[in-house]
Structure 1
Amino acid sequence: MDHVKPEPENRAAEPLTEYVQRVNRRLRAFDRRRPLVWDLHLTGFWVVAALIDASGGWRTVAHDPGVPVGLVLVLSLGLSVPLLWRRSHPGAALLATLPAALVSVWTGAALQAALLQLLLVHHVALRLPLRSLWWAVALATAPTCLAVARYGDSVGPWHQQLGSQLTAIGVAALIGITVRTRRDYTQVLEDRARRLETERDQQVRLAAAAERARIAREMHDIIGHNLSVITGLADGGRYAAAKSPDRATQALDAIGSTSRQALAELRRLLDILRDDDQGTTGRAELSPQPALTDLDRLLDGVRRAGLPVRTTVRGEAALPEGRQLTLYRVIQEALTNTLKHAGPDATAHIALSYATAGAVTLTVTDTGSGGPLPAGPSGGGRGLPGMRERTSLYGGTLEAGPRPAPERGWRVHLHLPEETPQ
């Protein structure tokens, strides 16, 4: 039993314009790679056409059919061979054809190959400064002026001869100018597209760098603070283990809860970096960032780690989430530094003052050993630069340094101005 092979689906015929454009792009690409090939082919075509005319056809329009054939061959080559340089040196090629065109008119041969000067005028308009057209028109018009002067009305009224030649030159130049304008316009569009693509890539890189910096700040705040709390709890539990096992058990419980809290925050942050087919990114954004309502839990952890903290609040908090996160992280970083550097028996004080329209002032002080800023281009690690970056997002100011004598300890002072109406 014969099996009939199913016919392929009928595809829509390619539009003629798209086909022509595709072929044109391929030809242009080939021409850019091997320009000499196209120049040789086109020049060879016109040389052959000129020689065919020189074999006898020229006599049908000649003023003097008795011109020697050898001279006609030389003049035909002189009018066609310079086309080889029409793209690289169109002005020089046009000038090279002028002697042959003048001799052709003077001898009466009136070769049709002289029309090839119009192609050179076209390339002058296409490739050279437009002011070059003036002398190109003069060169292409000179043989016509010589014919009118030598043969008078026998070749027709002078104004008709000169008008016809100028019209032909004008059409050739206009075509060249049109092609040149379109080419320049296309080049401008391509350059603009390349610039836009470069700017887009730069914006993507800047956005990625800003996101990396934001994630680095969050990681530093989460890990640095919780590890400092865990370290304080571990040290306290070690000393309490010998005297009060119950206190050691409480310290271990606090270490466990602090560790779980840190892991939960890290998972939330790392979920934002995930981008899979199940839409994890969208779910991660639903996890709330820390706010001022979470401040009590933060202070409880710090107190369990052995740092007494008291707070003073003036006014009522009515801040957007971004400002609340900035205050939370600055308090967290300030208390983390106190845990790490203030030494034993230090205490901390947090003073929050709320004003209208989102303005707020925060001061965190401690009674530790204090000291100068750590060495480094940014004042040490990521802590202080991170606090300043968060503050600058809202046009605020942040000062951090030792408290003035005779007081001891460290002071962090933050001020966020009123929100700017959008």
Structure 2
Amino acid sequence: MRETPGRRPVLTDRLHHLLASVRLFDRRKPYVWDVTATVFWVAAALTDYASSGWRRTAQNLDVPDTHLVVLSLGFTLPLLWRRRHPMPVLLATAPFALVNSWSGAVLQAHLLQLVPVFSLALHRPLKQLGPAFLVVVLPLVPGALRYPLAAWDAAMGPALWGFALTALFGIAVRSRRDHLASLEERARRLAVERDQQAQLATAAERARIAREMHDIVGHNLSVITGLADGGKYAAGASPERAGQALDAIGTVSRQALADLRRLLDVLRDDDTATPAERTPQPGLTDLDQLVDSVRTAGLPVHVHTEGRATCPPGRQLTVYRVVQEALTNTLKHAGPGATADITITHGERGAVTVDVTDTGTGAPPSAPSDGRGTGGMRERTALYGGTLEAGPRPHPERGWRVRLYLPEETSQ
């Protein structure tokens, strides 16, 4: 049969599907199979009696027909309950096995005791197989003593070998069933864990996007607001400066729109975005442009840098966003006449310390309305094991201070 690579043969698929359907039907309506199997064994036992097939193994051919019929029914009818109560069924057939052995009829139907033995090995604790062995073998002892010459070949041998093989087969089926159940449970747990990981990844990505959107939109809108306010006051006294403010507003708006487009391009599933669009995050080299936009909005900013920048892109983005958020809060809350100072100190192996202070007198930005200002800065800092301090400057100094520290990179 030709097989498609990576796929089971069609016949095998159909067989698996058929077996699964049979098992499902049996679980839903177990009595149908129980009744069918019992009727089959009753018919087989009575057929053996009616065709005189029992005479080939009998040690006494003078057993009354009534005894033979009763023995045949005694071995088969209890099988109706073999799956739910295997040990009681085995005990119920034991008296018939004793009569069968003692009378010398040696009906082959006594081997049907192995059917509940299989159910015991499959569904019950294995320690019950010991008592079951005694229930199967002990009734044969009187017959072996009464008819010693043919007892082993006719009764004892088949019973002993049959019990051993049936018990082993039941244990094998049970082991395979338990193994499959464990594999299914493992697959289920892996599926649950995969879904949980997907949900966590989605939540983390949403938080990251929320931080980026807040930083981009919040900062640029603050700059635009400052430019608009300055342009309004300059409109009457200095139309030229009002025009400059409008030009700056247009520049900042286009920059914000470009940043948003690049951020959305990263989220696209197709491959049409260019590599530059896939890495739109700003770094330390973009701080000058950020500071210039804030200065244009009317906030004097002084920048001091110490050491040589060795931060990887991820850390650079964190530094940039923290400085951006700090300056945005200064624009919002510092009030007129405020100034800002930025000190960036680079250490070895990516370590960096950033201090952003202002001389404002406005309300502190400790509780932004959307909860993503200072909280977003702390989340970014925590990704690299750093610390972030934000609060009023110590007395007698005025204003607000934000201090970021990112430790050295640890070797993997």
What TM-score do you get using the length of structure 2 for normalisation? 0.92
How many angstroms apart in 2 are the aligned matches of 1:373 and 1:134?
79
Aligned residue in 1 for 2:97: 101
Deviations 1:307-331 (A, max 9, x none): 1110111111121111111100000
How many angstroms apart in 2 are the aligned matches of 1:144 and 1:347?
106
- Which amino acid in the other structure matches residue 282 of structure 2? P
How many angstroms apart in 1 are the aligned matches of 2:252 and 2:286?
14
What's the secondary structure of 1:280's corresponding residue?
Answer: coil
What's the secondary structure of 1:317's corresponding residue?
Answer: coil
Q: CA deviation at 1:95?
A: 1.5
Check whether the contact 1:83–1:120 (CA below 8 A) recurs between aligned residues.
yes
Unmatched 5+ residue regions in structure 2?
none
- Of 42, 50, 55, the residue aligned with 1:47 is 42
- Which amino acid in the other structure matches residue 367 of structure 1? T
What's the secondary structure of 2:119's corresponding residue?
Answer: helix
Q: CA deviation at 1:178?
A: 0.8
- Of 310, 316, 324, the residue aligned with 2:308 is 316
- Which amino acid in the other structure matches residue 49 of structure 1? A
Deviations 1:154-189 (A, max 9, x none): 43459x954542222101101111111111111111
- Of 95, 115, 120, the residue aligned with 1:119 is 115
How many angstroms apart in 1 are the aligned matches of 2:205 and 2:288?
29
- In the alignment of these two chains, the number of paired residues is 407
- Which amino acid in the other structure matches residue 272 of structure 1? V
Aligned residue in 1 for 2:74: 78
Check whether the contact 2:266–2:279 (CA below 8 A) recurs between aligned residues.
no
Aligned residue in 2 for 1:248: 242
- Which amino acid in the other structure matches residue 263 of structure 1? L
- Of 209, 215, 218, the residue aligned with 1:215 is 209
Moved over 6 A (4+): 10-13
How many angstroms apart in 2 are the aligned matches of 1:208 and 1:397?
25
- Of 350, 354, 369, the residue aligned with 2:361 is 369
Check whether the contact 1:90–1:120 (CA below 8 A) recurs between aligned residues.
yes
Deviations 1:192-234 (A, max 9, x none): 1111121111111111111111111000000000000000111
Aligned residue in 2 for 1:417: 407
How many angstroms apart in 2 are the aligned matches of 1:380 and 1:213?
13
Aligned residue in 1 for 2:390: 400
Alignment of 1:133-282 (within 5 A): 133-149=129-145, 151-156=146-151, 162-276=156-270, 279-281=271-273
Check whether the contact 2:58–2:104 (CA below 8 A) recurs between aligned residues.
yes
How many angstroms apart in 2 are the aligned matches of 1:16 and 1:167?
35
What's the secondary structure of 1:153's corresponding residue?
Answer: coil
How many angstroms apart in 1 are the aligned matches of 2:287 and 2:9?
68
Of 232-241 and 60-69, deviating more is: 60-69
How many angstroms apart in 2 are the aligned matches of 1:315 and 1:86?
84
How many angstroms apart in 1 are the aligned matches of 2:212 and 2:141?
85
- Of 302, 305, 324, the residue aligned with 1:332 is 324
Change (3 A) 1:284 1:49: farther
Find out whether 1:36 has 2:46 as its counterpart: no
Of 349-358 and 14-23, deviating more is: 14-23
- Which amino acid in the other structure matches residue 342 of structure 1? A
- Of 21, 27, 35, the residue aligned with 2:22 is 27
Q: CA deviation at 1:11?
A: 11
Q: CA deviation at 1:63?
A: 3.2
Aligned residue in 2 for 1:289: 281
Check whether the contact 1:273–1:281 (CA below 8 A) recurs between aligned residues.
no
Identity percentage over the alignment?
59
What's the secondary structure of 2:390's corresponding residue?
Answer: strand
- Which amino acid in the other structure matches residue 176 of structure 1? G
Check whether the contact 1:367–1:410 (CA below 8 A) recurs between aligned residues.
yes
Change (3 A) 1:47 1:329: same
Check whether the contact 1:87–1:123 (CA below 8 A) recurs between aligned residues.
yes
How many angstroms apart in 2 are the aligned matches of 1:362 and 1:92?
81
- Which amino acid in the other structure matches residue 38 of structure 1? W
Aligned residue in 2 for 1:5: none
Of 217-226 and 10-19, deviating more is: 10-19
Cα RMSD, aligned residues only = 2.4
Unmatched 5+ residue regions in structure 1?
1-9
- Which amino acid in the other structure matches residue 95 of structure 2? P
What TM-score do you get using the length of structure 1 for normalisation? 0.90
Check whether the contact 2:90–2:135 (CA below 8 A) recurs between aligned residues.
yes
Deviations 1:258-297 (A, max 9, x none): 0000000000001122224xx1356565443111111111
Change (3 A) 1:397 1:14: closer
- Of 126, 130, 147, the residue aligned with 2:126 is 130
- Which amino acid in the other structure matches residue 391 of structure 1? T
Aligned residue in 1 for 2:352: 360
